[in-house]
Structure 1
Amino acid sequence: MAKFLYVYHGSGKMPETEAEKKEVMDAWTGWFGSLGAAVVDGGNPVGMSKTVLPGGKVENNGGSNPTGGYSIIEAKDIDDAASKAKGCPILSAPNCSIEIAPIIEMSM
Protein backbone atom coordinates (compact mmCIF):
# COMPACT_ATOMS: atom_id res chain seq x y z
CA MET A 1 0.00 0.00 0.00
CA ALA A 2 1.15 3.51 -0.79
CA LYS A 3 0.83 6.53 1.49
CA PHE A 4 -1.08 9.64 0.46
CA LEU A 5 -1.13 13.12 1.92
CA TYR A 6 -4.58 14.65 2.32
CA VAL A 7 -4.37 18.44 2.52
CA TYR A 8 -7.61 20.00 3.69
CA HIS A 9 -8.27 23.37 2.05
CA GLY A 10 -10.64 26.02 3.30
CA SER A 11 -12.20 25.93 6.68
CA GLY A 12 -15.64 26.03 8.03
CA LYS A 13 -16.72 27.99 11.04
CA MET A 14 -14.81 26.85 14.11
CA PRO A 15 -17.09 25.21 16.67
CA GLU A 16 -17.83 27.48 19.60
CA THR A 17 -19.87 25.47 22.10
CA GLU A 18 -18.94 22.17 23.69
CA ALA A 19 -21.85 20.53 21.85
CA GLU A 20 -20.57 21.84 18.49
CA LYS A 21 -17.01 20.69 19.30
CA LYS A 22 -18.30 17.23 20.19
CA GLU A 23 -20.33 17.04 16.98
CA VAL A 24 -17.29 17.93 14.86
CA MET A 25 -15.00 15.52 16.70
CA ASP A 26 -17.58 12.73 16.46
CA ALA A 27 -17.81 13.27 12.69
CA TRP A 28 -14.03 13.06 12.25
CA THR A 29 -13.70 10.12 14.63
CA GLY A 30 -16.46 8.29 12.77
CA TRP A 31 -14.84 8.92 9.39
CA PHE A 32 -11.40 7.83 10.60
CA GLY A 33 -13.04 4.77 12.14
CA SER A 34 -14.59 3.87 8.78
CA LEU A 35 -11.11 4.02 7.21
CA GLY A 36 -9.66 1.69 9.85
CA ALA A 37 -6.01 0.74 9.41
CA ALA A 38 -5.71 2.98 6.33
CA VAL A 39 -5.21 5.94 8.70
CA VAL A 40 -1.44 6.27 9.11
CA ASP A 41 -1.58 9.69 10.78
CA GLY A 42 -4.90 11.40 11.50
CA GLY A 43 -3.04 14.71 11.31
CA ASN A 44 -4.08 18.00 12.82
CA PRO A 45 -5.60 21.32 11.92
CA VAL A 46 -3.10 24.06 11.08
CA GLY A 47 -3.04 27.81 11.65
CA MET A 48 -2.66 30.64 9.16
CA SER A 49 0.34 30.35 6.90
CA LYS A 50 2.84 32.65 5.21
CA THR A 51 4.31 32.19 1.75
CA VAL A 52 8.07 32.44 1.21
CA LEU A 53 8.83 33.48 -2.36
CA PRO A 54 12.05 33.20 -4.36
CA GLY A 55 14.55 35.77 -3.13
CA GLY A 56 13.27 35.37 0.43
CA LYS A 57 10.28 37.71 0.23
CA VAL A 58 7.60 36.67 2.73
CA GLU A 59 3.92 37.30 2.14
CA ASN A 60 1.51 37.16 5.03
CA ASN A 61 -1.39 36.21 2.77
CA GLY A 62 -2.75 33.13 4.53
CA GLY A 63 -1.12 30.96 1.88
CA SER A 64 -1.75 30.80 -1.82
CA ASN A 65 -4.18 27.92 -1.20
CA PRO A 66 -5.14 28.15 2.49
CA THR A 67 -4.59 24.88 4.29
CA GLY A 68 -6.86 23.85 7.15
CA GLY A 69 -5.07 20.63 8.09
CA TYR A 70 -3.68 17.33 6.90
CA SER A 71 -3.84 13.54 7.27
CA ILE A 72 -1.79 10.63 5.92
CA ILE A 73 -3.77 7.70 4.55
CA GLU A 74 -2.73 4.38 3.01
CA ALA A 75 -4.42 3.34 -0.22
CA LYS A 76 -3.65 1.06 -3.17
CA ASP A 77 -3.46 4.02 -5.59
CA ILE A 78 -4.52 7.65 -5.95
CA ASP A 79 -7.99 6.65 -7.16
CA ASP A 80 -8.49 4.55 -4.02
CA ALA A 81 -7.22 7.48 -1.93
CA ALA A 82 -9.72 9.80 -3.63
CA SER A 83 -12.52 7.33 -3.01
CA LYS A 84 -11.61 7.14 0.69
CA ALA A 85 -11.67 10.96 0.90
CA LYS A 86 -15.28 11.23 -0.26
CA GLY A 87 -16.65 10.61 3.24
CA CYS A 88 -14.52 13.29 4.93
CA PRO A 89 -16.51 15.67 7.16
CA ILE A 90 -14.74 18.76 5.81
CA LEU A 91 -16.52 18.27 2.49
CA SER A 92 -19.81 19.23 4.14
CA ALA A 93 -18.51 22.77 4.75
CA PRO A 94 -18.89 25.34 1.95
CA ASN A 95 -15.81 26.04 -0.20
CA CYS A 96 -13.75 23.22 1.32
CA SER A 97 -11.81 20.57 -0.57
CA ILE A 98 -9.18 17.89 -0.16
CA GLU A 99 -6.01 17.81 -2.21
CA ILE A 100 -4.46 14.34 -2.44
CA ALA A 101 -0.84 13.61 -3.32
CA PRO A 102 1.22 10.45 -3.15
CA ILE A 103 4.04 10.51 -0.63
CA ILE A 104 7.27 9.51 -2.34
CA GLU A 105 9.56 7.66 0.05
CA MET A 106 13.15 8.85 -0.20
CA SER A 107 16.00 6.83 1.21
CA MET A 108 18.81 8.82 2.74
Structure 2
Amino acid sequence: MPKYVLVYHGSPRFETKEAGENHMVQWRSWSQGLGDALIDPGMPVGPSMTVLSDGSVSEGGGANPAVGITILEAPSMSEAITMVQGCPHLSAGGTIEVAEAMNIEM
Protein backbone atom coordinates (compact mmCIF):
# COMPACT_ATOMS: atom_id res chain seq x y z
CA MET A 1 0.00 0.00 0.00
CA PRO A 2 1.37 3.48 -0.81
CA LYS A 3 2.89 5.65 1.88
CA TYR A 4 2.25 9.38 2.10
CA VAL A 5 4.40 12.07 3.66
CA LEU A 6 2.46 14.83 5.40
CA VAL A 7 4.36 18.09 5.68
CA TYR A 8 2.80 20.55 8.08
CA HIS A 9 3.09 24.26 7.31
CA GLY A 10 2.18 27.24 9.47
CA SER A 11 2.59 27.47 13.22
CA PRO A 12 -0.73 27.86 14.99
CA ARG A 13 -0.68 30.50 17.71
CA PHE A 14 -2.72 29.91 20.82
CA GLU A 15 -3.90 32.65 23.14
CA THR A 16 -3.48 30.50 26.25
CA LYS A 17 -1.41 27.56 27.38
CA GLU A 18 -4.63 25.62 27.86
CA ALA A 19 -5.66 26.23 24.24
CA GLY A 20 -2.30 24.86 23.08
CA GLU A 21 -2.64 21.82 25.33
CA ASN A 22 -6.19 21.23 24.05
CA HIS A 23 -4.89 21.38 20.47
CA MET A 24 -2.33 18.68 21.28
CA VAL A 25 -5.05 16.49 22.86
CA GLN A 26 -7.08 16.87 19.65
CA TRP A 27 -4.00 16.13 17.50
CA ARG A 28 -3.20 12.97 19.48
CA SER A 29 -6.82 11.83 19.21
CA TRP A 30 -6.79 12.42 15.44
CA SER A 31 -3.47 10.57 14.97
CA GLN A 32 -4.61 7.64 17.14
CA GLY A 33 -7.81 7.49 15.09
CA LEU A 34 -5.71 6.76 12.01
CA GLY A 35 -4.97 3.32 13.49
CA ASP A 36 -2.65 1.14 11.41
CA ALA A 37 -2.54 3.79 8.66
CA LEU A 38 -0.19 5.82 10.87
CA ILE A 39 3.27 4.54 9.97
CA ASP A 40 5.26 7.24 11.80
CA PRO A 41 3.65 10.04 13.83
CA GLY A 42 6.66 12.13 12.91
CA MET A 43 7.72 15.18 14.80
CA PRO A 44 7.60 18.95 14.84
CA VAL A 45 10.62 20.70 13.35
CA GLY A 46 12.33 23.95 14.22
CA PRO A 47 13.52 26.80 12.04
CA SER A 48 14.93 25.63 8.74
CA MET A 49 17.57 26.60 6.23
CA THR A 50 17.32 26.14 2.46
CA VAL A 51 20.33 24.97 0.46
CA LEU A 52 20.05 26.27 -3.11
CA SER A 53 21.37 24.61 -6.27
CA ASP A 54 24.42 26.89 -6.29
CA GLY A 55 25.30 25.81 -2.76
CA SER A 56 24.23 29.07 -1.13
CA VAL A 57 22.04 28.95 1.96
CA SER A 58 19.03 31.03 2.87
CA GLU A 59 17.37 31.21 6.27
CA GLY A 60 13.78 30.48 7.13
CA GLY A 61 12.74 27.76 4.71
CA GLY A 62 11.04 30.05 2.19
CA ALA A 63 7.59 31.60 2.17
CA ASN A 64 5.84 28.68 3.88
CA PRO A 65 8.38 26.69 5.92
CA ALA A 66 7.73 23.18 7.19
CA VAL A 67 6.85 22.85 10.88
CA GLY A 68 6.50 19.06 11.10
CA ILE A 69 6.05 15.74 9.33
CA THR A 70 4.01 12.52 9.57
CA ILE A 71 4.01 9.38 7.44
CA LEU A 72 0.85 7.41 6.82
CA GLU A 73 -0.31 4.61 4.57
CA ALA A 74 -3.45 4.75 2.43
CA PRO A 75 -4.84 2.97 -0.64
CA SER A 76 -4.84 6.20 -2.68
CA MET A 77 -4.04 9.91 -2.62
CA SER A 78 -7.73 10.73 -2.28
CA GLU A 79 -8.05 8.48 0.77
CA ALA A 80 -4.91 9.99 2.30
CA ILE A 81 -6.40 13.45 1.79
CA THR A 82 -9.64 12.34 3.45
CA MET A 83 -7.61 11.20 6.49
CA VAL A 84 -5.75 14.50 6.59
CA GLN A 85 -8.90 16.64 6.41
CA GLY A 86 -9.71 15.78 10.03
CA CYS A 87 -6.35 16.96 11.38
CA PRO A 88 -6.68 19.78 13.93
CA HIS A 89 -3.62 21.49 12.44
CA LEU A 90 -5.99 22.67 9.69
CA SER A 91 -8.59 24.13 12.05
CA ALA A 92 -5.76 25.97 13.85
CA GLY A 93 -4.89 27.81 10.62
CA GLY A 94 -2.12 25.58 9.27
CA THR A 95 -1.88 23.70 6.00
CA ILE A 96 -0.74 20.16 5.23
CA GLU A 97 1.11 19.15 2.09
CA VAL A 98 0.44 15.51 1.11
CA ALA A 99 2.96 13.73 -1.14
CA GLU A 100 3.08 10.08 -2.14
CA ALA A 101 6.36 8.42 -1.25
CA MET A 102 7.92 6.93 -4.36
CA ASN A 103 8.90 3.28 -4.15
CA ILE A 104 12.31 3.56 -5.80
CA GLU A 105 15.34 1.58 -4.70
CA MET A 106 17.98 4.03 -3.55
Q: Aligned residue for 1:46?
A: 45
Secondary structure (helix, strand or coil) at the match of 1:25 reads: helix
Segments of structure 1 that go 5 or more residues without pairing to the other structure are none
Q: Aligned residue for 2:24?
A: 25
The answer to whether the Cα contact below 8 Å between 1:15 and 1:24 also exists between their aligned partners in 2 is no
* Aligned counterparts, 1:20-99, within 5 A: 20-60=19-59, 62-64=60-62, 65-94=64-93, 96-99=94-97
State the alpha-carbon separation in 2 of the partners of residues 85 and 100 from structure 1: 8
Displacement of 1:32 in angstroms is 1.0
Secondary structure (helix, strand or coil) at the match of 2:3 reads: strand
Identity between Structure 1 and Structure 2 (%): 41
Deviates more, 1:19-28 or 1:4-13: 19-28
Aligned length: 105
Secondary structure (helix, strand or coil) at the match of 2:34 reads: helix
Segments of structure 2 that go 5 or more residues without pairing to the other structure are none
Q: Aligned residue for 1:103?
A: 101
Displacement of 1:25 in angstroms is 2.3
Displacement of 1:102 in angstroms is 0.4
State the alpha-carbon separation in 2 of the partners of residues 43 and 15 from structure 1: 25
Q: Aligned residue for 1:13?
A: 13
RMSD: 1.6
TM-score with structure 2 length normalisation?
Answer: 0.89
